[in-house]
Amino acid sequence: TFKRPRFLQSFRMAHYDTIKDESLRDDLKFYFMNPCEKYRARQHIPWKLGVQILKIIMITTQLVLFGLNNQLVVSYKEESMMALKHLFVKDYGGEDEDSYTAAVYTQQDVHDSLIFILDQYFQLDQLSMGPINYGDDAEDKLLPLTVCMEYYKKSVEPSDEVYNIDAEVETVCLSLESKSTKQWKTQNASFFELDFYRLIDIKVTFQLKGINLRTVRLRELPDCYLFYVKMLLLFSLFIASVTSTHTHIISVAAQKNTHYLLVFDCLVIMVCVTSAVLCARSIILAVRLLQRFSMFLLENYGHKVSESDQTEFLNSWYVLVIVSDLMTIIGSVLKIEIQAKNLTNYDVCSIFLGTSTLMVWISVIRYLGYFEKYNVLILTMKVAFPKVLRFCCCAGMIYLGYTFCGWIVLGPYHEKFEQLSRVAECLFSLLNGDDMFATFAQLKDKNTLVWFFSRIYLYSFISMFIYMVLSLFIALINDSYETVKKYQKVGLPLTDLQKFLREQPELADAAECSQTPVGVSCSVFCCCRRRYVYRHVIVLFSKAFFHTLLHTWKLRCTNMSDSTDQGFAQGQHVS
């Protein structure tokens, strides 16, 4: 007899496996399509592409607006520091340096420089042309000027070329009010009698406050600044260092454009959150597809997914976009706080906004990779990156060796080799062929041995890195480019994933697909459309029912013919 229930059960299981395989194949094909192909296949709107384009426009606009404001802040600080140097540094030559140093060689010069600072401070309101005044505390009390002198504790008396020095240091300070009387010199004459043999340094510190009125013309809130000024006199060297710190704004009514900027920054944050959610959703979908494909390989072929196939699922572009979105959100929040005058650190905000903008523009390269001509560049960078990284590690060892060698040998004789960081910068400029003659010419020729060593050192470095290291570096990139061009013509070796995607489905009519296997409900991470699932299942089970009827009819015909033959044989035996 024909066992219908068991046959139908096995037949349904076989077709259920077929449905799972075809569903997985179609989901993988859909996942690796570009936005245009996805739209043609399922009318899937490329939301991520649209969000990325909108985000680039908004973030770039936000960066430009913040950069213009930051430029005003930086220019005001630099101009204020230059003005303070002209006011308080005696015989200042106008050098545009962060830390200006002027040398004095006599006791009278040190004394005159110290008195010059104090005189300029007490007549500041008659000298300064800008909105700058003495600093005050929270109670509107003017802060004093402080002069501190550091001495060795015991006296130092030179006798027979022997100095008796006590290493312990003592500090003596004097505070002077900004509204002090003109007799402050005579009242503190003993304090300014300097014992130069014991003197280590003299520090003059005071605070000034100023306001930047340039932003008012741009309909921005004016910023108040608090300058912490420190003048340092060290032995016979007079070192004038003026530093400034930007503080919070005083209470001023906000203009209307501030609200517009606030709304725009909030829109940027919303777009970045949307972009991060879409990319995180794509990553989760890729992980689920990788798990399904891994189970398929284990069940059908008995091995795991290769590393090359795993990298196809884990898209680093999505990670880059998420990181850039997070940095943009943080930078936008800091920008809002700066506009509200709750924060004053422009540098941290610029780092976040600048880095996020860089990452956003880099992430656009992914969409250019869908075009064949642009894809050559991207694939070349991708293939060459591991080789270049290993090559740079080897070349970096030689570079560090030259850096340390140049610093220890040429440091005392060449200004470009005085510090390790400057040595590295100098060698990098030589590596690019910049400033070669000046580096050779600036070496002091007082020491003949060091002069000869410097020539051997510089010639060997330039010859090795320009003619050997850079040539090998370019050769690696050229080799990667030729490899990419070759595989574009003949094709790359097929991986398990590519072989699976190229397999033709057993049922030709099963062209429609689902984003999830049969029996699994759609979730928020699923791009499926249920009509494709139902349509796919109806087509497959219609064919299954037809094949079942056909197979059943064949079995019954076979059983009937067998019964007829057996009856005819028995009739002959009886007769």
**pLDDT surpasses 70 at 123:** yes
In a domain, 126, yes or no: yes
User: CA 466 to CA 47: how far, in whole Å?
Assistant: 47
In a domain, 467, yes or no: yes
**pLDDT surpasses 60 at 391:** yes
Last residue of a domain, one of 312, 337, 369: 369
Same domain, 236 and 96: yes
DSSP state at residue 443: S
Q: Quote the pLDDT of residue 532.
A: 41
Q: What is the 3-state secondary structure (H, E, C) of 40-96?
A: HHHCCCCHHHHHHHHHHHHHHHHHHHHHHHHHHHHHHHHHHHHHHHHHHCCCCCCCC
Q: Quote the pLDDT of residue 448.
A: 86
Same domain, 411 and 364: no
User: CA 482 to CA 74: how far, in whole Å?
Assistant: 48
SS3 204: strand
β-bridge partners, 201: 150, 234
Distances (CA, A) of 364 to 39, 51, 318: 19, 11, 11
Q: Quote the pLDDT of residue 353.
A: 94
pLDDT digits (tens, 9 = 90+) for 424-476: 999 999 988 888 888 888 876 768 888 899 999 999 999 999 889 999 999 99
pTM listed for this prediction: 0.71
Same domain, 323 and 228: no
- The amino acid at residue 409 is V
Task: Report the interhelical angle of 47-88 vs 316-339 (nearest 10°).
Answer: 50
pLDDT digits (tens, 9 = 90+) for 356-371: 999 999 888 877 777 7
Q: List the single range of 23-32, 80-89, 226-235, 342-351 with lowest mean pLDDT.
A: 23-32
In a domain, 153, yes or no: yes
Q: Quote the pLDDT of residue 522.
A: 38
Residue of higher predicted confidence among 236 and 370: 370
Q: List the single range of 21-30, 104-113, 165-174, 225-234 with lowest mean pLDDT.
A: 21-30
Residue span of the structural domain in which 309 resides:
256-369
Same domain, 93 and 145: yes
Side-chain-side CA neighbours of 341 within 13 Å: the count stands at: 16
Distances (CA, A) of 244 to 101, 232, 308: 17, 15, 54
Residues 16 and 517: beta-carbon distance below 8 Å: no
Q: Quote the pLDDT of residue 401.
A: 95
Same domain, 405 and 298: no
Same domain, 262 and 214: no
Same domain, 217 and 276: no
In a domain, 203, yes or no: yes
Last residue of a domain, one of 369, 391, 426: 369
Same domain, 362 and 394: no
Reported confidence tier of residue 57, pLDDT bands at 50, 70, 90? very high
Same domain, 365 and 407: no
User: CA 461 to CA 427: how far, in whole Å?
Assistant: 8
In a domain, 552, yes or no: no
Q: Quote the pLDDT of residue 499.
A: 66
Distances (CA, A) of 15 to 326, 504, 542: 46, 16, 11
Residues 321 and 364: beta-carbon distance below 8 Å: no
Q: Quote the pLDDT of residue 248.
A: 41
In a domain, 251, yes or no: no
Same domain, 151 and 110: yes
**pLDDT surpasses 90 at 86:** no
Q: How many domains does the chain have?
A: 3
Reported confidence tier of residue 2, pLDDT bands at 50, 70, 90? very low
Same domain, 238 and 302: no
Residues 367 and 321: beta-carbon distance below 8 Å: no
Pairing of strands 100-103, 145-152: unpaired
In a domain, 437, yes or no: yes
Nearest to 55 by CA among 345, 282, 346, 367: 367
Reported confidence tier of residue 48, pLDDT bands at 50, 70, 90? confident
> Which DSSP string corresponds to 145-192?
EEEEEEEESS----BTTB------EEEEEEEE-TT--TTHHHHTTTTT
- On the 0-12 / 13-18 / 19+ scale of CB atoms within 10 A, 204 is buried
Same domain, 358 and 466: no
Count of all residues that appear for the chain in the document: 575
In a domain, 327, yes or no: yes
Q: For residue 408, what are its two tokens?
A: 């220890």
Last residue of a domain, one of 305, 335, 369: 369
Question: What's the mean pLDDT in 100-122?
Answer: 79
